[in-house]
Amino acid sequence: MTETLPEPDVAAMATGLGIALHTAGLPVGPDRCERLARAVTVMGATSLAELRACALATMVSDPSQMPVFDRVFAALFGGPSPFRNLPMPPAPQRFQRAEPDGSPPPSALSPGDPGGALPDGLRLSDAEPSSADGDEPLAEGPAMRRVASATERLRGRDFTELSAAELRQLVVLMREMTLAVPPRRTRRYRPARDGKRPDLRRTLRLARRSGGEAIRFARRAPRIRPRRLVVLCDISGSMEPYARALLMLLYVLNGGGLARSVQPGGNQARPEVFSFATRLTRLTPALSAATPDTMLAKAGEAAPDWSGGTRIGAALKEFNDHYGSRGMARGAVVLIISDGWETGDPALLGAQMARLHRVAHRIVWANPRTQSPRYRPEVGGMAAAWPYCDAVVSAHNLDSLDDLLSALRAR
């Protein structure tokens, strides 16, 4: 029977390396540990050489720190030290800590004696130090292979198969996703040298500097702003696991957890989020929570119909009456997250989708059921809504979220 490897913990690995480097005298804090964990996840490191490159880029801030860094890294992971023939500079005095028995500080230990330099709990690999030449590339480590394989499994698993701890791990991977909705032209103008429209008022103001002579002609161009993103998320019983994962994605895109939302002009996209099951609830204030768990708790408190029935048509009608027709959906990109199970009248859903389609710029429907190649929208609410959708994606796991973000940024 094949032994199952334990799930790796990138954060624990980064914390252990950071503690060891700090003990050895380097100015390493929690911020650098966080950057290392993020770099390892983004790079998808599968070897000790790649791990060393990530750690070197995030943990070392001065060339004089490299010998200490390499000695500690070799003691932890068993890799060769290219600095083993160089004299070790003393660590800065403010970081050295003498032991009560008078023994030298950890930074004074030699590379060949890693046993006394680091606690057993910080040893992340059982590999022995290599006797090969220092210029030889580092061999792949089993710890990094486990990290890469676990991340790959996490990306491909359906959201319904993930535990609560694994859902929290998704936030680290979602941080590297970028939201870019299509831009729109406003009625306002901005000064622009290459603008096609002359700016007569600014031209006259400039002429006052040259005695009334219009030497320089000012021009202007329309201002560009990102379109509003409006999200309607189904939180009924059949969609509850997917709703949790996609709300975490919206939390990241809203700015939680060091998100990256790139928009023209440097503006960030702030999604306007609503939930629905048997009623419509605005969840946008909950997305400003400090942590994903707090966000989900606030969302559950705000939406009393969580894991209830589904009345998509009635929820869309309430949105169109109170928000959409008043300007929120006009020219916006609308994302509807639902499996299409409608307990109400499908004709009402079709009429409200047609009404929303007339004012929105683009409607994207995320339906986890479409992951099956045998799925056909022939009956029920999805059949009524399908003709008014500009794109339909599955969004059932982390890999499929790339298709979702591509559909949102399409023009």
Q: For strands 183-191 and 362-366, give the pairing.
A: unpaired
Please tell me the pTM assigned to this model.
0.61
In whole angstroms, give the CA distance from residue 271 to residue 333: 10
What pLDDT does 8 receive? 57
Buried b (16+ CB within 10 A) or exposed e, 180-200: bbebbeeeeeeeeeeeeeebe
pLDDT tens digits, one per residue of 92-126: 443 344 444 444 444 433 434 433 443 343 344 44
What pLDDT does 385 receive? 94
In whole angstroms, give the CA distance from residue 109 to residue 117: 6
Per-residue DSSP letter, 191: E
Backbone conformation region of residue 380, classed left if phi is above 0, alpha if psi is from -120 to 50, else beta: left
Alpha-carbon dihedral sign for residues 7, 8, 10, 14: positive
Buried b (16+ CB within 10 A) or exposed e, 222-243: bbebbbbbbbbbbbbebbbbbb
Our CA dihedral for 296, 301, 305, 308, rounded to 10 degrees, sits at 50
In tens digits, the chain (411 residues) has pLDDT values of: 444 434 457 887 888 888 888 888 888 888 788 888 888 888 777 778 888 888 888 888 888 888 888 888 888 886 544 334 434 444 444 334 444 444 444 443 343 443 344 334 334 444 334 433 444 444 444 544 544 555 677 788 899 888 888 888 888 888 888 888 888 888 888 888 888 888 888 888 888 888 888 888 899 998 888 899 999 999 998 899 999 999 999 888 877 644 444 444 444 557 899 999 989 999 999 988 888 888 989 998 999 888 888 899 999 999 999 998 788 999 999 999 999 988 889 999 999 999 999 999 999 999 999 998 888 888 788 999 999 999 999 999 989 999 999 999 888
Token pair belonging to 367: 């339906």
User: Which amino acid does the sequence have at 107?
Assistant: S
Question: Can you tell me whether residue 17 is helix, strand or coil?
Answer: helix
Per-residue DSSP letter, 151: H
Q: Say how many C-beta atoms besides its own lie within 10 A of residue 42's C-beta.
A: 13
- Domains in the chain, ordered, with CATH? 10-153 (no CATH), 169-180+227-409 (3.40.50.410), 185-225 (no CATH)
